[in-house]
Amino acid sequence: MNPLRERELMLTRRQLFGKGASAVGLAALGSLSAAPAVHHRPPRAKRIIYLHQSGAPSQMDLFDPKPALAARFDEDLPDSIRKGQRLTGMTSKQTRFPVAPSQFKFHRRGQSGMELSELLPYTGRLADEISLIRSMHTEAINHDPAITFIQTGSQIAGRPCMGSWVSYGLGSENRDLPAFVVMISRGTGRRVDQPLYDRLWASGFLPSKYQGVKFRSGGDPVLYLSNPEGMDRGMRRSMLDDIAQLNEINAKDFADPEIQTRIAQYEMAYRMQASVPELTDLSKEPDAVFRLYGPDSRKPGTYASNCILARRLAERGVRFIQLYHMGWDHHESVPRQLPPQCLDTDQPSAALLLDLKQRGMLDDTLVMWGGEFGRTVYCQGTLTPQTYGRDHHPRCYSVWLAGGGIRGGVVHGATDEYSYNIVENPVDVHDLNATMLHCLGIDHTRLTYRYQGRDFRLTDVHGELVRPILL
């Protein structure tokens, strides 16, 4: 078929199903990119820094002390505690489930007396700034669906992540930087760990302008940020102007809002060529900042360095900053693998809170620290007095929040004597996400997007605010 004739036929079909609704589509597009932000209530936080610990930290070794278990070393976990709950394929064939008490001591910290592991001395110094939730639980028992669930509100891939929902709802405060930025670091506790997929910071069915932009530690901070050899900034500007004209023609013909998104992305990339190099250049940070964040803070790509960048992004008005730190999937050798993982993260996480507080930014910055589920009290593999492993455990785990709208020095929820089941104030993933949106001034039931005839939201049809941790 003649290509020109084929395009004319395509336009006819597009016009029938899409162009007839172009006025509605363009109006909707305008509302998506319009300011001001969609606040349903006065916000306590302007932005979120989400410190995701990929692989699932062990709650009973870090946040949920069970000292009485020391007397139950190597005893079988009672059936009355496990209650026939499902197991992963990694431990379902074990003939017994021996109790593995934590080898790490806990200490009361701050005026609140919050009990935290000896592996978290820096976090302990800021115990009165954080709300510790010991009663988190999730639906998924394996990493991929669990991390997808906590990020998107669904175990099935394809939904928008929280960062995309926030940037969709609130927009950006800085036209020269994305509203949503992602950084990844690899832990020293377990070098080979669960993979992270780009879809975790994707926008799903939301326009792609709301997806996360991943910053890298080597080469260009953002892929293809630099001009190719032989092209200067003036030539780039001229090229983008020509491409924009062609895209505008197609936008009129097809009435596809994604074309306008593409135009906006090209323009953002052009502005980022000037803004990102300045942002990621830490050479002008004073020595005191590097001492605060610890010995790894001068090494690009480390968790400590990314925490400094997170603060710099927050200073520049980026709405949602997501740090992923890999290496928490400790199925074996917890006493060997967990301490270096905490060395990676404890001082920088606490330094981030202290740095924000010193700059007067903690009150309007919500910081969240946590993984996708917890770890089992029983040992995976062979238990010895020197070592133990822990399998996945969705029934209970711990996370902490601090800053914008969060009450400090609070411990919310409780688990049984085995840190296996929740006995007080359960909090599910939708509750956590609803509460975080609340701090931003967003009613989670009203932040919706119509797709395929249904109004979707981050919390699906669930979610209750965790009010005891809110100011």
Q: Give residue-wise pLDDT tens across range 353-409.
A: 999 999 999 999 999 999 999 999 999 999 999 999 999 999 999 999 999 999 999
**185 pLDDT higher than 90:** yes
Q: At what angle do helices 257-280 and 233-254 cross, to 10 degrees?
A: 160
Segment 83-135, tens digit of pLDDT: 999 999 999 999 999 999 999 999 999 999 999 999 999 999 999 999 999 99
Going by C-alpha positions, the residue among 44, 146, 54 that lies closest to residue 428 is 146
Sequence-distant (6+) residues with CB within 8 A of 26 are 255, 257
Domain ranges of the chain: 37-438
The SS3 call for residue 131 is strand
Sign of CA dihedral 371, 377, 382, 386: positive
CB of 123 within 8 A of CB of 348? no
State how beta strands 130-137 and 427-428 pair.
parallel
User: Whole-angstrom Cα distance, residue 19 to residue 140?
Assistant: 42
pTM for the whole thing?
Answer: 0.90
Would you place residue 10 in the very low, low, confident or very high pLDDT band (cuts 50, 70, 90)?
Answer: low
Would you place residue 191 in the very low, low, confident or very high pLDDT band (cuts 50, 70, 90)?
Answer: confident
Sequence-distant (6+) residues with CB within 8 A of 251 are 259, 260, 263
Please state the separation of Cα 300 from the chain's center in Å.
Answer: 20
- As given in the structure block, the two tokens for residue 73 are 């070393």
The β-bridge partners of 131 are: 401, 410
- Mean pLDDT over 2-7 rounds to 53
Would you place residue 267 in the very low, low, confident or very high pLDDT band (cuts 50, 70, 90)?
Answer: confident
* CATH number attached to the domain at 37-438: 3.40.720
pLDDT of residue 81: 98
Segment 202-223, tens digit of pLDDT: 999 999 999 999 999 888 888 8
Residue 238 class from Cβ within 10 Å (0-12 exposed, 13-18 middle, 19+ buried)? exposed
Lowest mean pLDDT among 43-52, 90-99, 234-243: 234-243
- Mean pLDDT over 292-318 rounds to 98
Q: If you count them, how many residues does the chain have?
A: 471
pLDDT of residue 265: 76
**164 pLDDT higher than 80:** yes
Going by C-alpha positions, the residue among 61, 29, 21 that lies closest to residue 374 is 61
Question: Phi and psi (nearest 5°) for 105?
Answer: -85, 150
